[in-house]
Amino acid sequence: MNPITSEHLDIEPMPDKFPDDLCLIVGAGHFGKRAARILKETSDSPILIIDKDKDRIESIEPLHTEKIVSDGVNFLVKNIQSLNPSSVIVPAIPVHLASEWLKIFLEEHGWEIQPIRVPEEIIQLLPHTWQGTGGTLLISYTDFLCPDDCPEPSDHCPMTGETRSEPLHELLNRLSIPLHQIHVIRSRQLAPGLGGYKAEDLTNLFSKVSQGEGKWLVGTACKCHGALTGVEVIRRAHGTWGAA
């Protein structure tokens, strides 16, 4: 493949295939820059950072970090099948990346999508919640700002010492409500305070949701924090969809 260089500040041309061990950071704001810095210090994997703001992209230190100016969600829609399934994606934009990607990817594969609210019956079963952008429900075991370097222990909060019966991603995955299905992607810690998931987690999400019409609650969560977005797959528009 042709190498992506820090001078390629454009979406075109794109390689047919990315490095197998690529780490893709979506967003070049505060959290994206922090992710790039940490990953450069802790990993030998090539790093590609995506942002639609050229000034933010150009402010990233060039050393060992390739950069492309593009909307992050649309970039993933166009290039998900060129990524190795094990490539790591680090969400660093102020939207629920997995659900926004899913909506567009489903529509491009012949489905009509409508947003739905997370039912109140579900919200009552969750710890602290508040509304995010685009109808996404944000969820957390804490009601305070966690330290950037939290090690995410499995059984307790390192700030309060409070014990927890189960990680948040497990709690969300076992939720049940009539006429709704739930699928939650687990965000795994890459370094203290930094999480991500694999490209195959997105394609598996698409494969599951695209099996038929219905209402879905799509989530992403680590052990302590998460996001949940409601979508309704209404009908297949024309033709058939292919496997991702």
> What are the tens digits of pLDDT across the range 25-74?
999 999 999 999 999 998 899 999 999 999 999 888 766 789 999 999 99
Q: What is the per-residue pLDDT for 70?
A: 94
Q: What is the mean pLDDT of residues 7-11?
A: 42
pLDDT band at 150 (very low <50, low <70, confident <90, very high): low
Lowest mean pLDDT among 5-9, 72-76, 95-99, 180-184: 5-9
Helix (H, G, I), strand (E, B) or coil at 215: strand
Rama region for 179: left / alpha / beta (φ>0; ψ in -120 to 50; rest): left
In the block, tokens 């409601």 appear at 230
Contact 136, 228 (CB under 8 A): yes
Q: Mean per-residue pLDDT for 192-215?
A: 95
Whether the per-residue pLDDT at 162 is higher than 80: the answer is: no
pTM: 0.87
> What pLDDT shows up at residue 236?
67
Percent of the chain surpassing pLDDT 70? 82
Q: Is 213 helix (H, G, I), strand (E, B) or coil?
A: coil
Residue 209 has pLDDT above 90, yes or no: yes
CA separation, residue 239 to residues 158, 165, 193, 209, 243 (Å): 52, 46, 43, 17, 13
Predicted local distance difference test score (pLDDT) of residue 216:
97
**More confident site: 12 or 143:** 143
Residue bearing the bigger pLDDT, 235 or 195: 195
pLDDT at 140 over 60: yes
Residue 16 tokens, joined: 């047919």
Cα gap 9→26, rounded to integer Å: 15
Write the CB contacts of 193 (distance below 8 Å, at least 6 apart in sequence).
146, 147, 148, 149, 150
For residue 189, pLDDT beyond 70 = yes
Domains belonging to the chain, first-starting first, are 1-93 (3.40.50.720), 96-244 (no CATH)
pLDDT at 61: 75
Residue 111 has pLDDT above 50, yes or no: yes
| CB-based contact 218:116 (threshold 8 Å) | no
> What's the pLDDT band for 17 if we cut at 50, 70, 90?
confident
- Distance between CA atoms of 152 and 187, rounded to whole angstroms? 11
Predicted confidence at residue 11, as pLDDT, reads 42
pLDDT reported for residue 158: 63
Given a cut of 90, whether residue 170 has pLDDT beyond it is yes
Mean local confidence (pLDDT), 198-218? 95
Q: Which residues pair with 57 in a beta bridge?
A: none
d(CA 171, CA 80): 28
